[in-house]
Amino acid sequence: MSPNAFAGAQLTIDLDAISANWRALGARLKNGARAAAVVKANAYGLGISAVAPALYDAGCRAFFVASLDEGIALRSILPDGQIYVFFGPTPKDAAEYSRHRLIPVLNDLGQIETWRARSRGDGGEKAVLQVDTGMSRLGLPPDEVARLAVEPERVAGLDIVYVMSHLACAENSGHAMNGQQLEEFSKALKSLETGSAFAAASLANSSGIFLGPGYHFDLVRPGAALYGINPTPDKPNPMTEVVRLQGKIQQVRSVDSSRSVGYGAAHVVTRPSRIATVPVGYADGYLRSASNQASAHVRGVRVPIIGRVSMDMITLDVTDLPAEFVHPGATVDLIGGPYSIDAFAADAGTIGYEILTSLGLRFRRRYIENGEVREAAE
């Protein structure tokens, strides 16, 4: 593709920062706990084929993905390392898990039965058992935990490497759900201990790590914090930023007072203004909900997004900037750098997770690795 096809927009992904974040999280853990890396959804949109090897090089050996397809793709990238799959097997696809050495998360008694049928004969198939403590999404509900506690033969022959659950409100450290889920999880662990050797436990996502050592158990499962999203939104971000999206001004025009800008005439200028157009839009994952709400930065100076975000373009009010700052080709910081991903997400009415996983493929992507910049191969 010709460089011009990207219209100059550039997404820089700092793999060194991801590795540093993985190490920083590991350093926070209580003795004996380890950190896996959650790399579902193409490593939160950042490119699993670059992110997973960087994490592996940093020492990470356990990876979580959402689906079987993601697990198979990751296995082709990482021949070693444990790969866990959140969704777990169906009778149709269980054999694929074995073939690619993927460890399923078993989310109900039916999946346990499916995976046991698979392991019959050779035995010792590894699995993670998920119990639901408040998400009501995946994992054994309380009545199934109780059943399993009195019928441990249901997991006979399986090698349950972890019992896990997932926190619903961990980013809000004061939320009562945290303590309630911790208690329910601890009770479930205790009830399942009898009769079978459930070796280890896993509860915390990124934010859960910051709730304290009582939440660490044996394995933590951070995703967002690795990618620079603040796991403690009510405090300064302890993580290193990972992404920076920059565009280039395509055109600058002067408009008279009372002229409208963009679709729906959603913005009307109230003074003679200069408007800069940057070719990045919602088709690139620059969410339309940022219309008239978010900001960009030119040479570190904040400029408001005015009017609606179009499919391929946004418009900035650059009236207050010196003319020599704003010319076609001038760089504009859109996300990251002076404007954190969390700040942009808040202005767009969403969370950093959605911003990351929406960032499109129309950008020129660059990775920073071992201090060097390289263009993405894809």
Ligand X SMILES: *Cc1c(COP(=O)(O)O)cnc(C)c1O
Q: 248 catalytic, yes or no?
A: no
Residue facing ligand X at closest CB distance? 223
Query: Which amino acid is located at 273 in the chain?
Result: S
The residue count of the chain comes to 378
Shortest gap between Cβ of 226 and ligand X (angstroms)? 8
- Which is catalytic among the residues 40, 44, 84, 162? 40
Nearer to ligand X among residue 166 and residue 216 (C-beta): 166
For 78, 190, 222, the CA distances from 55, given in Å and listed in that order, are 11, 33, 12
Q: How far apart are CA 205 and CA 185, in angstroms?
A: 14
Contact residue for ligand X among 111, 205, 230, 295 (CB under 6 A): 205
Footprint on residues 152-191 left by ligand X (CB under 6 A)? 166
The number of residues that bind ligand X (CB under 6 A) is 11
Answer yes or no whether residue 223 interacts with ligand X by CB under 6 A: yes
Query: Shortest gap between Cβ of 205 and ligand X (angstroms)?
Result: 3
Segment near ligand X (CB under 6 A), from 4-12, 55-63, 141-149, 218-226? 218-226
Exposed e or buried b for every residue in 127-162, given b needs 16+ CB within 10 A? bbbbbbbbeeebbbeeebbeebbeeeeebeebebbb
Report whether 63 contacts 49 (CB < 8 A). no
**Span from 47-55, 219-227, 258-266, 275-283 in contact with ligand X (CB under 6 A):** 219-227
Provide the phi-psi class of 331: left if phi over 0, else alpha when psi is between -120 and 50, else beta. Answer: beta
Residue nearer to ligand X on the CB measure, 40 or 248: 40
248 binds ligand X (CB under 6 A): no
Task: Please identify which residue in 9, 13, 38, 112 interacts with ligand X, judged by CB under 6 A.
Answer: 38
CA-based angle 244:309:365, to the nearest 5?
30
* Cβ at position 105, least distance to ligand X in Å: 8
* Residue placing its CB nearer to ligand X in the complex, 18 or 306: 18
Q: Is residue 19 within 8 Å of 54, Cβ to Cβ? A: yes
CA distance 364 to 74: 23
Nearer to ligand X, 114 or 207 (CB): 207
Distance CA(299)–CA(365), nearest Å, equals 21
Nearest distance in Å: CB 185, ligand X: 13
φ, ψ for residue 43, nearest 5 deg: 55, 55
Q: Which residue has the tokens 């200069």?
A: 274
Contact between 221 and ligand X by CB under 6 A: the answer reads: yes
Question: At closest approach, how far in Å is the CB of 288 from ligand X?
Answer: 24
Would you count residue 222 as binding ligand X (CB under 6 A)? yes
- Residue 40 is among the residues annotated as catalytic for this protein: yes
For residues 12 and 46, give the distance between their C-alpha atoms in angstroms, rounded to a whole number.
10
Active-site residue, selected from the candidate residues 44, 263, 286, 339: 263
Looking at residue 224, what DSSP letter applies? G
Q: Is 216 in the site for ligand X (CB under 6 A)?
A: no
Interface of this chain with ligand X, residues 84 to 113, rule: CB under 6 A: 86
Stretch in the footprint of ligand X (CB under 6 A) among 142-150, 178-186, 221-229, 240-248: 221-229
User: Which residues make beta-bridge pairs with 38?
Assistant: 64
- Nearer to ligand X by Cβ, of 221 and 308: the residue is 221
Secondary structure letter of residue 281 according to DSSP: -
- Of the ranges 183-191, 223-231, 291-299, 325-333, which one interacts with ligand X (CB under 6 A)? 223-231
Rg (alpha carbons) of the chain, rounded to whole number: 24
Q: In the complex, which residues of this chain contact ligand X (CB under 6 A)? A: 38, 40, 86, 166, 205-206, 221-225
Q: Which residues are catalytic?
A: 40, 263
